[in-house]
Structure 1
Amino acid sequence: MNFRSILLLLLLTVSTLSTAQITSEDILFTVDDTPVYASEFIRVYNKNLDLVKDESQKDVDAYLQLFINYKLKLAEAKTLKLDEKGSYKRELKSYRNQLAQNYLTDNTVTEELIEEAYQRTKQLVKARHILVRIDDTTPDKDTLAAYMKIIKLRSRLIDEGFDNVKKDVHDGKTIFVEDLGYFSAFKMVYSFENAAYNTQVGDVSQPFRTRFGYHVIQVLDKRPSLGAVHVSHIMVAKNKTGDTISDPEIRINEIYKKLNQGERFESLAKQFSDDKSSAEKGGELAPFSKGQLASPEFEDAAFNLALVGEVSEPFKTDFGWHIIKLLDKKPVPPLEDIKAELEEKVKQDSRSKIINDTRIQDLKTRYNIPDTQPALPYFVKILNNNYFNNTWELPKKFTADKLFLTIGEQTYTYQDFGDYLLKRQGLYSDQLSFNKIIDHNYNLFLDERLKAYQDANLENENKEFANIVSEYRDGLLLFELMENEIWNAGTKDTLAIQDYYKANKDKYFWNTRIDAVIAASAERKYIKKAAKLLKKGVPIEDIKTKLNVNDKIHVIFTTGIFEQHHQGLPNNFEFKTGMSEIYKFNDGYIVAKVNQVLPKTLKSYEEAKGNVISDFQADKEERWMQGLHAKYTVSVNETVLTKVRNQINNQ
C-alpha cells in the first residue's frame, strides 16, 4: 500500500469517527413529544456504571430499558402535577440551596484553612491575655486611645508581671486581664487564635485587634493534644430477649470473670457481645475522639485506660453494660477522617470572613466590578442626622432612575441603593461619620447582590451543579410518585395484600430451626461435664452452681430458638434432637442440648407480612409499568442508539 493510500485511509477513519461522535443535539428517544438527549443518557450511564452490581445492567440496551422506565415515571409524575405540590417545591429549594453552598466559594482558601486548623488541633496552647474593650462603633479618637493603652499595658506585663497588672487594672468591663488556661483550634476567635499559635512560649505578642477590642497574649506553654482511642468492647444490651438470663448485669459480670480467668477477649466478644456490628470482629470499634460518640460514659471509660491491652471493669451506659479493651491510643486522627468536621467548623467560626472576602473579590473580578463606586459621594451629601434616629428620608429631587451598579446582566439604580439605606437607618452610632456609614452600607449592598446574582445564575455557570440539581429534582419527583402509586399500598391496600399472600403462600416458609440450650467454655473438660449434666436433665442453674465455682465462670449458657449461622453455633452444626457432639468454636468449645427441631413450616400472614408487602409492591409496580408503556409513546432513534453503543464500548 503506497503512502497516498495510507493517508486516504487515515482521513476516512478520522471522518468516520467524527461523524460517530455524540452531539448535544442528538435525541436518543422521545416520550410522546418530550426529547431525551443521548448526552444525558451517556452521562448517567457512566456515572452509575461502578454502582451497578448486576452485570446485565451494564449492557447498553438493558440499561436503556431502565432509563426509559425512569423517564416514563417522570412523565406520569408531571401528568399528575406532582411537580406543582408545595411540599415538593419546598424540599427541592432547600436541597438546591444547601448544595449550592459547595459551589459558591473558592475551595482553595477553605482547604488551606482546614489544613491550618488540623495542624492546630494537634497542639494545645496555654495563655493569658489583656484586653482593652472597644467595638466597631467606637469613635476614632477613642480607638486610638485604646491602642495606646494596650501598648502601655504590654510593657507593664513584661516588666511587672501578670498578677500585678491584673490586680491594678482588671475591672471586667473595659479592661480584662485573664488567665485562659489551655485551648486549641476553634476555641477562640480566629485572629486571637492566630496570635496565640504564632507567639513563642514565654513571649508576649504585639497588640492586635479582634471584634472585642485590642489584646496582647502571653503564651505560657504548648503541648500535644489528646487524640483518638481505639478499643474493642463486649456489650450486653438492655432488655435482652430470647434468653432465660434476663439480668444483663449478671451476664456481663460472668463474662468479666471469664476474662480474669484468662479467656481471650476477642473470643468472648464473638460469642456473647450483643453489638452485632463489632462482635464478628472480636468487638473491635473504629477509633474515636472525645465528643464523637453518643455516650460520654463510654468515652470516659475508654480514655481512662492507659496501657494497650488493659481491660476495664464492667460499666453501664444508656445502651447496656460494657467491658472495654484498649487496642491503641492515637494522638490525632488522620486529616481525611475529620476533614468534614473541620470544614464545618471553619465555615461557622470567624474564619468564614476570610472565605467570604475571597469570594467577594473573585466575584468582583468575574463581573468586572470597579474598586471604587463614584456614586457614593452623592449619597454622603444627602445623609443628615435624622439617619441616626430613623426619621431620614430621600430628598424630593432624588435621582432615582440613574444607573448605580451593574452585575452581569442585572442592573441597580440609585433608587435600589436609596431604599437599602432607608431600611438600615437607626442602626449606627452618631459617633460614626457619614462617609463610614455609606461605605459600610455599600459594601454590604454589593456583597448581598453579588452573592444573589451568582446563586441565581449558578446552573448557567456550573454544568456539574446543574446536572446534580436536575438529578435530584427528578429523583424527588420520582419518590413522590412511587410513594403515591406503590409504596403506600403497604399500609392502605390491606385486603389486596392478604389476597396476595393467600395466592402465593408457597413463597413464605420458616427454614429449619432448633429450640436448644447452648453451653460455651474455653476448656473442653468443662464442656464435657456440662454435656453430661445437660443430658441427665439437670437444671441450668444447678449446672452453673456446680461448674462455676471459686468465683470463676467456666461455662456460659444461652437458650432460645436458633437458625443456622447463629453467632453461637458453628456452620457445620447438625440440627437434630438430643445432645450434640462437642464442637471446637471461636477459640473454645460448645455443646448443645436440642429440645426440638422445628421443621420448615409455612409462615402465618403476620409472620411473613414484611416480605409479603415487599413482593406485593414489586408485583404492583410491574403491572403499573406495563400500563405506563401503553399510555405513553416511546420512540427510539436507532441511528443515535448505534452511536451511543459505539461511544460507550470504545471508552
Structure 2
Amino acid sequence: MFRCFYVLVFFTFFINLQAQKTNKDVLFTVAKEPVYSEEFIRIFNKNLDLVKDESQKDVDSYLKLFVNYKLKIKEAQAKGLDTMPTYLREFESYKKQLAKNYLTDTKVTEALVEEAYHRLSNEVKASHILIRLDEGASPQDTLEVYNELLKLKERIENEGYAQVQKDVHDGKKVYAENLGYFSAFKMVYDFENVAYTTKVGEVSMPFKTQFGYHIVMVEDERDSRGELKVAHIMVANKRDDKQQNSKTRIQEIYKKINQGEAFSSLAKQFSEDKSSVEKGGELVAFSGGELSSSEFEEVAFSLEKEGQVSKPFETGFGWHIIKLIKKTELASFDAMKPELEGRVKRDSRSKLINTSLVNNLKERYSIKGNPEGLRYFETILNEGYFLGNWSLPQDFTSNKILVVIANKELTYKDFGDYLFENQRRVSTKKAFDILVSENYEDFINANLIQYQEENLENENEDFSHIVTEYRDGLLLFDLMEKEIWNASQTDSVALKSYYKTHKNNYIWNQRIDADVASASKKRTIKTVKEMLGNGQSPESIKEALNKNDKVYVIFTSGIMEKDHQALTSDMLFEKGVSNIYRHDNAYVVANIKDVLPKTHKIYEEAKGQISSDYQVVKERLWLQELEQKFPVHINSAVLAKVKANLKTK
C-alpha cells in the first residue's frame, strides 16, 4: 500500500518533466546535467493546489523535493535499471494502456458519453432468454437458435414470461433470468442497446452478443434513484457462533435506537466499521450499482425519508442498521462527463469509436497497396485454412512490399503471418478472394492504429509528457523497492538494532482490562454501577435489566487504551468500579479488573511501525550519499527569478 501511494505521489508531482533544452535558464545541475527553470515552474504551478503540506508550497521546500527526485532518477539510470527487461516490459505495458486514451474519435466518443448519461438517468427493468451459441457456430445452427427464440418470443407474448421461464431455463444452454433494474454499463453494450430501445411491455427480436443469442422483455422504466448519503452501524460476523453473538448485539443496538438514543452516538460506541465510526457511521455518498453489497444497497435505497432507520439486516460483511441522511439526484452531465469518457473507452461500445477512428486515419495517412499481392495470397491458400492447419509455402515470397502506410512498409511476410495467426478464427468456408479481402481490411485497420500509436510521442505533446511521467515514475518505484522498501522489510538485524536504539518510541500506554457499561439513562447506569459493585457479571446484569424486548444497557469488554471508543478521556484508570461518566449522549461506568502499566512494546508488537520509521531514516541517509555521488549546484540568480515569477502569478 505504501509503495503504491509513494509512486502515485510522484506520478502526480512530477508530470510533464521534459522541457526543451535550448535557450532555457538552468535552475540547477545534477552531476553537470542541467535542469531548467521552466520545468520547475510548470510543475510547481500545476501541483500547487494538490499539495496538502503547507511547507511544500514554499518554493525552497518544493525545490528540495524536486532535487531529491532528480537525484533518485540519476541513481536509477546509473544502476542501469532503465535497461532491465522487467522494467522495459512494464513500461511498454503502461505506455500501451495510456495510448488507448488518445487512439479515439472525439465526436463519436462525445455522442456515446451523452447516450450513457441519458441511460444512467433512466433505469430499465428487464428479463431475458439466452441460448448459448459458440462464436464459430454454423449458419444452420445460428438459424435454428434464431428461429427458436422467435417461437419463445411469441410464447412470452401469449403466455407471459414467467411460464416460459419455468419451461425453458436449464442453466446450461438456455438461461431465462429476471435481471431487475439496471442502467448504462451494467450489461454488455449490445445487450444494453436492445434493452433501451425496446418499448416497455414488448419483447425484442433475437439479437447476438458474445454469449449467444437473446430476446429481452422490458418490464418497466424509471428515473435514476440518484445518490444516497447514509450512516450505518455494523457488527461484524464472528467466526464462532456468529448468529448468536452478532445478531444479538445488533438487535440490542436497534432497540436502543427505537428507545430514542442518538444513532451517531451508538455508532461511535459500538460500530465495528472502523472507517466510519469516528463520523458517527457516515459513509461516502454512492449511487446504484456502486457498492459491492447489493443487499446493503437495496436496503439503503428502500429508505424514503431523511432520518429513517432500517431494521437490522445481514450482508457478507456482518449485520447492519442504516440511517438515511440525504438523497440527491444524479449529478449533472458536466460533472460526470470526465468519468463517463473513461468508462465509455473501457466498455464494449468502444468498438464504435475504433471504427470511426480507423476511417479518420485512412484519410489522414496515405495508403499505397499492391493489388497483385492480394491475388498472390489467393493462390497460396488451400482447404487447410478452414481446418486450422494451413501454413505458408516453403517458396513463400516474404520480403516483397504489400502495402505502405505513410512511411511504414508492410511486407508479404507481415500479412502472411497475420493470415496464419488468424486462421483458427474462421468458422465457415468462403471463397479465397473474400477471405483474403476481409483479412486484408482487418490487417490494414490494425496497422493504421498501430502506426498512430508508434508515432504518438511525436504527434501529441500531452501524450509525450505523460509517457515521461510513467517512464520516470516506474523507474523510481524500482529504485525505491530495491534500495529502501525491500531492505527495510527484510533486514531483520538492522530493524532489531534500530528498535533497540529507539525503544522509547514504541510504548504501550497505560491500559485497562475492563467491562464498560453504556446506558442512555442515568438511573439505569446507577443501577448497573451498584450491580457491578456487588460482583455481578455483565451477562447477569443484561439479563436483569434488558427486559420486555428492550435494551437499556450494552457492555464492551476487553483490554483498552485511553482512546478506546467506549471510554471517556477523563476516566480514571483504577481497579474496581469507576465513577459514572457522561459519554456521547449516554452514561458509562466501568468495572476495571486490572490496570496494565505503561510499558515498552516488544519487537514483534511494534515491527510494522519500526519498519516504517526505519525506512524514513534509511532514505534520509541514502539521499545524503546521492548528493555526494551526484553533486547538485543551484543557480541562485535563476532561483531568484523563479521566485519572482511565482509571486506574480
Same fold (TM over 0.5): yes
Alpha-carbon distance in structure 2 between the residues aligned to 1:343 and 1:540: 55
The amino acid across from 1:124 in the alignment is V
Alpha-carbon distance in structure 2 between the residues aligned to 1:188 and 1:287: 23
Q: Any idea what the Cα deviations from partners look like across 1:533-589, whole Å, max 9, x if unmatched?
A: 333443333322332233322111222333333322344545555554433332322
Q: Any idea what the Cα deviations from partners look like across 1:58-114, whole Å, max 9, x if unmatched?
A: 222332222222222222222222233333223222222222222222354334323
Name the counterpart of 2:477.
479
More displaced, 564-573 or 478-487?
A: 564-573
Name the counterpart of 1:233.
232
Alpha-carbon distance in structure 1 between the residues aligned to 2:623 and 2:126: 67
Q: Any idea what the Cα deviations from partners look like across 1:312-356, whole Å, max 9, x if unmatched?
A: 55444443333344567778787767985895476442x232111
Alpha-carbon distance in structure 2 between the residues aligned to 1:540 and 1:510: 27
Give, in angstroms, the shift of residue 197 of structure 1.
Answer: 3.6
Name the counterpart of 1:112.
111
Alpha-carbon distance in structure 1 between the residues aligned to 2:622 and 2:473: 19
Give, in angstroms, the shift of residue 530 of structure 1.
Answer: 1.4
Name the counterpart of 1:78.
77
Name the counterpart of 1:375.
370
Contact 1:137 1:431 in 2 (8 A): no
The amino acid across from 2:283 in the alignment is L
The amino acid across from 1:645 in the alignment is K
Alpha-carbon distance in structure 1 between the residues aligned to 2:36 and 2:29: 9
Name the counterpart of 2:498.
500
Rg (Cα) greater in structure: 1
Contact 1:196 1:217 in 2 (8 A): no
Where 2:566 maps in the other structure, the secondary structure is coil
Contact 1:231 1:326 in 2 (8 A): yes
Does the C-alpha gap of structure 1 residues 420 and 559 become closer, same or farther in structure 2, counting only changes over 3 Å?
Answer: closer
Name the counterpart of 2:60.
61
Q: Check if 1:31 corresponds to 2:26.
A: no
The amino acid across from 1:376 in the alignment is P
Contact 1:225 1:331 in 2 (8 A): no
Does the C-alpha gap of structure 1 residues 542 and 50 become closer, same or farther in structure 2, counting only changes over 3 Å?
Answer: same
Contact 2:203 2:218 in 1 (8 A): no
Where 1:488 maps in the other structure, the secondary structure is helix
Where 1:560 maps in the other structure, the secondary structure is strand
How many residues matched?
A: 605
Contact 1:522 1:588 in 2 (8 A): yes
Alpha-carbon distance in structure 2 between the residues aligned to 1:201 and 1:239: 45
Alpha-carbon distance in structure 2 between the residues aligned to 1:310 and 1:469: 50
Name the counterpart of 1:531.
529
Alpha-carbon distance in structure 2 between the residues aligned to 1:320 and 1:204: 40
Where 2:281 maps in the other structure, the secondary structure is coil
Name the counterpart of 2:565.
567
More displaced, 247-256 or 181-190?
A: 181-190
Does the C-alpha gap of structure 1 residues 326 and 397 become closer, same or farther in structure 2, counting only changes over 3 Å?
Answer: closer
Contact 1:118 1:342 in 2 (8 A): no
Where 2:275 maps in the other structure, the secondary structure is helix
Contact 1:512 1:600 in 2 (8 A): yes
1:282-293 paired onto structure 2 within 5 Å: 282-286=280-284, 288=286, 292-293=290-291
Contact 1:521 1:554 in 2 (8 A): yes
The amino acid across from 2:371 in the alignment is L
Alpha-carbon distance in structure 2 between the residues aligned to 1:388 and 1:427: 14
Name the counterpart of 1:90.
89
Name the counterpart of 2:352.
354
Name the counterpart of 1:552.
550
Where 1:35 maps in the other structure, the secondary structure is strand
Does the C-alpha gap of structure 1 residues 302 and 549 become closer, same or farther in structure 2, counting only changes over 3 Å?
Answer: same
Q: Any idea what the Cα deviations from partners look like across 1:30-52, whole Å, max 9, x if unmatched?
A: 22243333333233323332233
Give, in angstroms, the shift of residue 425 of structure 1.
Answer: 5.8
Contact 1:533 1:543 in 2 (8 A): yes
Does the C-alpha gap of structure 1 residues 510 and 558 become closer, same or farther in structure 2, counting only changes over 3 Å?
Answer: same
The amino acid across from 1:46 in the alignment is N
Q: Any idea what the Cα deviations from partners look like across 1:436-457, whole Å, max 9, x if unmatched?
A: 3343222211111111112222
Contact 2:510 2:597 in 1 (8 A): yes
Where 1:559 maps in the other structure, the secondary structure is strand
Contact 2:185 2:347 in 1 (8 A): no
Give, in angstroms, the shift of residue 523 of structure 1.
Answer: 1.3
**Aligned pair partner of 2:618 in 598, 617, 620:** 620
Does the C-alpha gap of structure 1 residues 266 and 463 become closer, same or farther in structure 2, counting only changes over 3 Å?
Answer: same
1:176-255 paired onto structure 2 within 5 Å: 185=184, 190=189, 194=193, 197-198=196-197, 200=199, 222-224=220-222, 227=225, 231-239=230-238, 247-255=245-253
Q: Check if 1:363 corresponds to 2:361.
A: yes
Alpha-carbon distance in structure 2 between the residues aligned to 1:192 and 1:543: 59
Does the C-alpha gap of structure 1 residues 495 and 223 become closer, same or farther in structure 2, counting only changes over 3 Å?
Answer: closer
Give, in angstroms, the shift of residue 395 of structure 1.
Answer: 12
Does the C-alpha gap of structure 1 residues 628 and 49 become closer, same or farther in structure 2, counting only changes over 3 Å?
Answer: same
Alpha-carbon distance in structure 2 between the residues aligned to 1:253 and 1:560: 21
Alpha-carbon distance in structure 2 between the residues aligned to 1:116 and 1:191: 14
Give, in angstroms, the shift of residue 410 of structure 1.
Answer: 1.8
Alpha-carbon distance in structure 1 between the residues aligned to 2:502 and 2:127: 74
Alpha-carbon distance in structure 2 between the residues aligned to 1:284 and 1:578: 35
Does the C-alpha gap of structure 1 residues 47 and 128 become closer, same or farther in structure 2, counting only changes over 3 Å?
Answer: closer
Does the C-alpha gap of structure 1 residues 364 and 638 become closer, same or farther in structure 2, counting only changes over 3 Å?
Answer: farther
Alpha-carbon distance in structure 1 between the residues aligned to 2:203 and 2:490: 72
Alpha-carbon distance in structure 1 between the residues aligned to 2:313 and 2:65: 53
More displaced, 628-637 or 354-363?
A: 628-637
The amino acid across from 2:27 in the alignment is L
Where 1:554 maps in the other structure, the secondary structure is coil
Where 1:276 maps in the other structure, the secondary structure is coil
Name the counterpart of 2:8.
none
Contact 2:190 2:209 in 1 (8 A): no
Q: Check if 1:631 corresponds to 2:626.
A: no
The amino acid across from 2:123 in the alignment is Q
Does the C-alpha gap of structure 1 residues 393 and 88 become closer, same or farther in structure 2, counting only changes over 3 Å?
Answer: closer
Where 2:547 maps in the other structure, the secondary structure is coil
Does the C-alpha gap of structure 1 residues 347 and 541 become closer, same or farther in structure 2, counting only changes over 3 Å?
Answer: closer
Contact 1:389 1:425 in 2 (8 A): no
1:268-283 paired onto structure 2 within 5 Å: 268-283=266-281
More displaced, 455-464 or 430-439?
A: 430-439
